[in-house]
Amino acid sequence: MSNAEQQLHYSTCTLCEAMCGIEVATKGRQILSIKGDKENPFSQGHICPKASALKDLYDDPDRLKRPIKRVRLEGEESAWEEITWDEAFELVANNLHNIQQAHGSNAVGVYLGNPNAHNMGSILFGPYFYRALKTHNRYSATSVDQLPHHIISRRLFGHMSQVPIPDIDHTQHFMIIGGNPLASNGSIMTVPNVKKRLKGIQQRSGKVVVIDPKRSETADISCEHHFIRPGSDVLLLLAMLNVLFEKQLHKMDGILPYAEDIKEVENYVKDYSVQKVSELTGISASQITQLVVDFCNAESAVCYGRMGASVQAFGTLTQYLIMLFNMLTGNLDKRGGMMFTQPAADILPVSGKGSMGGFSSRVRGLPAFAGEYPVACLAEEILTPGEGQIKAMVVGAGNPVVTTPNAEQLDRAFEELDFMVAVDFYVTETSRHADVILPPVTALERDHYDVVFHNFAVRNFAKYSEAVVEVDKDQLTDWQIYLSLAERLDALNGKNTAHYAGLWGKQPKGVVDDLLKSGLYSRALSEEGAASDNSSTHLSESSTADSSKVSFDARARGLSLDMLKAHPHGIDLGPLQPSLPHALFHEDKKIHLDFAYFMADLDRVNTHFFGKASYVTAQNQPLVLIGRRHIKTNNSWLHNSPRMVKGNNRCTLQLHPDDGARYGIADGDEVRVKSRVGQVTIEAEITDAIMPGVVSIPHGWGHNKKGIKLSVASQHPGVNTNILTDDLLVDELSGNAVLNGVPVELEKAS
């Protein structure tokens, strides 16, 4: 390979939702460099520092490339032994089958991490394995993140993934509640180079407003920032809706044909005046009123709530009220407002809409949604004896010991399992508990199409990337791993497995090709637009004249996998289009506001904030914990990349100078932080970027567990904030975890 010529490949960074195009230079199997793809029409050459980490993951000497199994030694010691794929698949399938035969189907639990959403093989072929398991005990990172968005979209629009997206490129007023897109690169908003796009709003005389307990990187470049007490966002939204009706600022004519009962919102919010909520939120009555007036006076506007608004005690109701606010101001399905996307390979019509209700978790009775229980109850389902107790776990591309609440309890629970298998290429805080680890290839070693994130993109776009580097014949992709396990499990259960031959032949790329050929754009590309010079293809900015359907007539034919391969930089398919009622999945083509489900949670709001036992002033509110993220971190990933962890310590406890003085804590002091479930000791960082009464620890650290094989991360362990988050604190409406607004106590460590 030393004589191999240098080659350039055009791929996509998969380390966050932004779908940035990358130019990868290789020589044989060596990755020489990763740069932004300047000819990518969506990202236009932009990348963030994380893109370079794709090379680090590929080159990492700690990365597993072949299956390993745990070998028990004398006493409590064990070691890892490399085995063949056939041996590994047989070992896993037999153990899972035997445990289910002895204890029932639900004796096996499944946890899936976020990287699965960035992997077309896992998305399209993983379900064959999950169905073969026949277990109700399924969990994922969804319930420590975006679960409220999915529940709202399922109930209002008929499909859990039909989530409207901010039309950031055309809005004149962007209100961000609990989001930091400069660090996240979007999040339920696929948006490369978000900093440029936010500045673009200001350059066209628009306004960016951030509402957050922390003055984040996004707040620093905004026009206006307001601190808000964690967990009180629901009160702010109720008061904002109150102002809409009190001042007759609502514009509901456009939405009335699809949501005739939207006028009833006034009855639900009439008791939540700005005066009533101002002290509890930390935002003055006049400021709340002005927020609404400015929003309504804008030519177009969008209110976007994200992680901070979701992972709190009233996260689902908060996100629902945000959606109502967009609807009542005339900004749903409107250019510059919240808009539905028109993805080229649209998986929604052929995927599950999201089952609601039907069953609840065995121990605590938390609600299931879309076939998954909230991960906050996973540990108790392992530790509590009885029928349905989890005896074995399958963990796919996830690290719940670091990323889910009451992490130490889950760590102990995994030690009690009879068997565990992890699909992962690292020995992490979670996979160290496994009996078998099945390592898939890295992102640059597999073909890629963003099946999920094109559905959340701020502009319609399509791109397919072939694998950048070849793999050894004994390395497998995620889809090959999952399909192999599914086939073996079905065989053990006596099922006919003949159909698997067709699946092996089709592969995920065949499914993507089918989706492209049957999608909106199958006849949409004009011969003039479909250039043959390997450059990007652009469609015009014209919008559909008939908003009752999405129309791309007069742009003729032929979007397919072959066409995308012929245009390696991707194909621009134009701006988001108004698409009601086409975008609705309910049979009656209406928006179902479902007041009985959502507004019933107001009783809990009233008890919490205004009941006899509630706190009523800012002075007697407890100190609370929130999270934060950094652009060089992706959940618990990337800490084994030297370039991602170099520099100053990022895992610190941020607190306001007033709180530092109150507790006798100076910058750089070691601080003991305690919650109901645990405690950590961490370095203090005094800053006025966080509001008084609030402390912040970043998410995804804590790489100090015995047995992990992460040589770089172990030298920069940080602390795990989820040792402090409480598994018993959930948003009762959805079961989503409460990671923001967790009561804590501080003391200077001796």
Q: Domain-by-domain residue ranges, the chain?
A: 161-343, 617-748
Q: Which two tokens stand for residue 383?
A: 């530790």
pLDDT score at 116 = 94
Q: Which helix (H) or strand (E) holds 383?
A: helix 378-383
What is the C-alpha to C-alpha distance for residues 464 and 509, in angstroms, rounded to an integer? 9
Q: What is the pLDDT of residue 75?
A: 75
Q: Are 43 and 37 in contact (CB under 8 A)?
A: yes
- Distances, alpha carbon 473 to alpha carbons 37, 66, 255, in Å: 30, 11, 56
| Cβ neighbours, 10 Å, residue 8 | 14
pLDDT tens-digit profile of 356-367?
878 899 999 999
The residue written with tokens 């939204």 in the block is 237
What pLDDT digit, counting tens, does each position of 338-349 carry? 999 999 999 999
The CATH superfamily holding the domain 161-343 is Dimethylsulfoxide Reductase, domain 2 (3.40.228.10)
Furthest C-alpha separation in the chain: 78
Q: Which pLDDT value is given to residue 4?
A: 78
For the chain, list residues with pLDDT below 50. Answer: 1, 525-556, 615-616
pLDDT of residue 620: 64
What is the predicted pLDDT for the residue at 252? 94
Cα 16 from Cα 117, distance rounded (Å): 10
d(CA 408, CA 678): 8
Sign of the dihedral defined by the CA atoms of residues 656, 662, 663, 666, in that order: positive
- Token readout for 63 is 């990365």
What is the H or E stretch that residue 69 is in?
Answer: strand 68-72
CB 20 within 8 A of CB 50: no
pLDDT at 634: 83
**How far apart, in Å, are the Cα atoms of 251 and each of 236, 254, 296, 604?**
20, 8, 9, 29
| Confidence at residue 169, expressed as pLDDT on a 0 to 100 scale | 98
Phi, psi of 459, rounded to the nearest 5 degrees: -150, 140
Gap between the Cα atoms of 511 and 202, Å rounded? 42
For 617-748, CATH gives: 2.40.40.20
Chain-centroid distance of CA 397 in Å reads: 14
